[in-house]
Amino acid sequence: MPSQLWSISLDGEQDQSGLFVDRAGRIVLSTTRPIPSDTPGGLSHWMTSTWKPPKITYVNNHAQHCYVINPRGHVEWMANGVNAQCDSPDGTLVGTNDRFDFLVFDRAGNQLEARTVGKSWSLIGWAGAVPVLTSTQGAHWVAPHIYSFHERHLHRYDAVGNLLAKTAISRERFDAVCRQRPDLATLPDMLKFPHQFDLEYHPQTQSFLASFWSMPAWTMGLRLDGTVDWVTLTGDGCCNDACLGGDSVLVHASSCGNRVSFVSPDGTILRTRDFYGASRVFPNDRDGVCVTTSNAIHGFDLRGEPSWTLEVPNLKAATARDGTLYTVSGDTRLEVSAFDIG
């Protein structure tokens, strides 16, 4: 059972949070504040509508606070209106704001750089000390190229986003699975052979383990040249998430499918477990994975055996590094906590 190391309370009127641990072991937490508006804005937004009177309202997520917390649970510095993205190889912190500027802060929180780079970018890797930025959804950096799977093609770009190749993906293996599953016949073609996949790079096989967020829960082994090695279904539900556990297992969680699956790099389903409401899965850096729900985190080893369960009411975000689990919970006021899971 995880044992609590520390907990601190922070201001936050957050709807969502960004959480990661930097190379120095500091916890970086970014919060956003939702504000209704007649027009879209902020870092992201969603729409609500009414019939009487007919009206569309945009709920815009605005960058609120960025906190940098040391491993002992003390806030080293805070920046307003900043949403942190990641840390750089030299230890500086990269973030953005509601204008989507590219911001750089030193380890003490001093702003070193601010420049306009375009809307809705993300930093997906580093070419040496040069940041690799993209606005392509689901893009993945495998040096020296950017890869993205959309429009049923594997796209390959150079480090600045110039398209180098666009390889059509064969649907043969998808059709073979569908022929074995007559119940899939009534699904629209876009679900029997999806247009877009999320990619996880598996260094040992030098290929992608790809997963589909919607239903059904397709997973695929995909080489960098676009060759499909295998295709399997890990369930029939949507709201799927996946991560690499250790060096050898893809762990797949389906929220609507109420299932967690453990898949080998060759597509073999090693184990499945019934699991209600899994919202996210991430590695715990101790040859295991964590599966989150809205009110708890569950630890599993890579054989699919449960290790522990930690109740966390109103869980917002969680991550793990070097045997320590970090959680963010609460509503109008946030609790950031650290737990020993080593």
Over the stretch 48-98, which tens digit does the pLDDT of each residue have?
888 778 888 888 889 999 999 999 999 999 999 999 999 999 889 999 999
Considering the chain, what is the average pLDDT of its residues? Answer: 89
Token digits of residue 203:
């260094």
H helical segments located in 24-163: none
- For 214-221, what is the mean pLDDT? 88
Q: Tell me: the pLDDT tens digits for 298-309?
A: 999 888 888 899
Token digits of residue 258:
């109420």
Cis peptide before 216 (omega within 30 of 0): yes
Q: Does residue 289 have a pLDDT over 70?
A: yes
- Cα–Cα distance measured from residue 252 to residue 238, given in angstroms and rounded to the nearest whole number: 12
Among 22-26, 212-216, 238-242, where is mean pLDDT lowest?
238-242
Q: What is the structure's pLDDT at 48?
A: 85
Token digits of residue 106:
């030193």
- For 110-132, what is the mean pLDDT? 89
77: closest CA among 5, 10, 6? 10
- For 283-304, what is the mean pLDDT? 86
Half-sphere exposure of 44 (CA within 13 A, CB side): 9
- For 265-274, what is the mean pLDDT? 87
254: closest CA among 239, 269, 268, 232? 239
Q: Grade residue 14 by pLDDT with cuts at 50, 70 and 90.
A: low
Q: What is the structure's pLDDT at 21?
A: 94
87: closest CA among 72, 73, 66, 56? 66
- State phi, psi for 325 to the nearest 5 degrees: -100, 130
The larger pLDDT score, comparing residue 54 to residue 159, is at: 159
Q: Does residue 274 have a pLDDT over 90?
A: no
Q: What is the structure's pLDDT at 266?
A: 86
Using alpha carbons, list the distances in angstroms from residue 142 to 27, 75, 148: 26, 34, 11
DSSP state of 197: B
Percent of the chain scored above 90 by pLDDT? Answer: 49
* CA pseudo-torsion sign 128, 132, 138, 143: negative
Residue type at position 302: L
Q: What is the structure's pLDDT at 16?
A: 60
Q: What is the structure's pLDDT at 246?
A: 76
* CA pseudo-torsion sign 177, 137, 201, 150: positive
Neighbouring residues of 182: CB distance < 8 A, sequence distance ≥ 6 = none
Q: What is the structure's pLDDT at 42?
A: 83
- Cα–Cα distance measured from residue 297 to residue 132, given in angstroms and rounded to the nearest whole number: 32
Q: What is the structure's pLDDT at 286?
A: 66
- For 196-210, what is the mean pLDDT? 89
The answer to whether 80 and 34 have CB atoms below 8 angstroms apart is: no
Q: Tell me: the pLDDT tens digits for 20-58?
A: 999 999 999 998 888 888 888 888 888 888 877 888 888
